[in-house]
């Protein structure tokens, strides 16, 4: 019988044990913690995409086409472009954007508009690990906020964290994130603003980390929230890039899709 030997250090046909362990532990689930304290998981999440256009001289025709399309989303009039609009669509299936949305946007009236690629954003909802109801956090809440007719104003923007944040300890990161999140909770409780937090790792052409949607009944409150966030440690010390900002007022909203 031939003698059994261990793979040599330069034998690349044998996968390192650490790489094998990493593969075994690969995890793509969203994690939370139930009311009883036990870990919970979900493999559901929403993908959101914002596409902006210029050259829209007939917003009524665009809104009417959307109303007849069956597309799930919201159309905004661009505050900073008198002929600009922005369309946010969402789905649990990424195929929705290259199938339904792509086909719809390839026809008039959207095909006649001027695409503004600098405002294209895409991301997915994600859990932080402490949510007691993952379906609420990942599916129902963001859908409810985006389609709420009372939240008539929106500010959407991407951001990229600086490497300095990743070098901090978990405790330091948590402290910084809690400061930032505290502002969001305060504005949400007062009814001034609600957010849609999206991860866009690998989904963004500019290598951003997140896309944020701030939604509220008054534009002033959203601007104030962004101003207040500039003072937090995360924004003032640990962001590499922020924006561009798309600012719009709701022109059309679809009905909520079936759960």
Please report the pLDDT score of residue 28 as a whole number. 94
State the pLDDT at residue 74.
98
Can you give the pLDDT at residue 113? 98
Where do the structural domains in the chain lie, given as residue ranges? 41-252
Q: Strand, helix or coil at 125? A: strand
pLDDT tens per residue, range 143-159: 999 999 999 999 999 99
Short-list 240, 69, 238, CA closest to 158: 240
Q: What percent of the chain has pLDDT over 70?
A: 91
CA distances from 85 to 19, 79, 105, 116, 231 (A): 47, 9, 13, 10, 31
Side-chain-facing half-sphere of 153: CA atoms under 13 Å: 15
Indicate the Cα dihedral angle 145, 255, 200, 131, nearest 10°: 50
| Each residue's pLDDT tens digit, 85-127 | 999 999 999 999 999 999 999 999 999 999 999 999 999 999 9
The rounded percent of the chain whose pLDDT value lies above 90 is 72
**Cα distance between residue 124 and residue 211, in whole Å:** 9
Closest CA to 43 of 98, 93, 113, 106: 93
Would you state the pLDDT for residue 12? 44
Tens digit of pLDDT for each residue in 199-214?
Answer: 999 999 999 999 999 9
* 233: phi then psi, degrees, rounded to nearest 5: -65, -40
Averaged pLDDT of the chain: 89
Q: What is the pLDDT of residue 21?
A: 53
pLDDT of 13 above 90: no
252 forms bridges with which residues in the sheet? 75
- The mean pLDDT of 153-180, rounded to a whole number, is 84
**Distance in angstroms (rounded) separating the CA atoms of residues 72 and 69:** 9
DSSP 244: P
pTM confidence score: 0.86
- Which residues have a Cβ under 8 Å from the Cβ of 140 and sit 6 or more positions away? 259
Helix (H) or strand (E) holding 137: none
- Which overall architecture, per CATH, does domain 41-252 show? 2-Layer Sandwich (3.30)
């Amino acid at each position: 019988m031939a003698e059994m030997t261990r793979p040599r250090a330069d034998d690349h046909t044998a996968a390192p044990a650490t790489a094998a362990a990493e593969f075994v532990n690969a995890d793509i689930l969203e994690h939370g913690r139930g009311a009883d304290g036990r870990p919970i998981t979900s493999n559901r999440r929403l993908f959101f995409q914002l596409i902006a256009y210029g050259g829209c001289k007939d917003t009524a025709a665009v809104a009417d086409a959307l109303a007849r399309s069956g597309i799930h989303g919201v159309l905004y009039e661009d505050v900073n472009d008198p002929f600009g609009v922005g369309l946010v669509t969402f789905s649990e299936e990424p195929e929705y954007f290259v199938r339904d949305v792509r086909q719809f946007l390839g026809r008039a009236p959207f095909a006649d508009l001027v695409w503004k690629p600098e405002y294209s954003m895409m991301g997915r909802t994600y859990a932080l690990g402490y949510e007691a109801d993952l379906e609420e956090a990942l599916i129902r809440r963001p859908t409810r906020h985006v389609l709420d007719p009372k939240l008539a104003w929106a500010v959407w923007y991407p951001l990229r964290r600086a490497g300095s944040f990743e070098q901090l300890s978990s405790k330091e990161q948590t402290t910084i994130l809690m400061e930032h999140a505290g502002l969001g909770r305060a504005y949400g409780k007062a009814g001034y603003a609600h957010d849609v937090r999206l991860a866009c790792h690998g989904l963004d052409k500019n290598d951003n980390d997140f896309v944020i949607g701030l939604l509220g009944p008054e534009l002033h409150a959203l601007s104030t929230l962004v101003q207040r966030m500039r003072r937090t440690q995360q924004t003032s010390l640990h962001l590499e890039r922020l924006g561009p900002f798309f600012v719009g007022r709701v022109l059309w909203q679809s009905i909520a899709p079936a759960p």
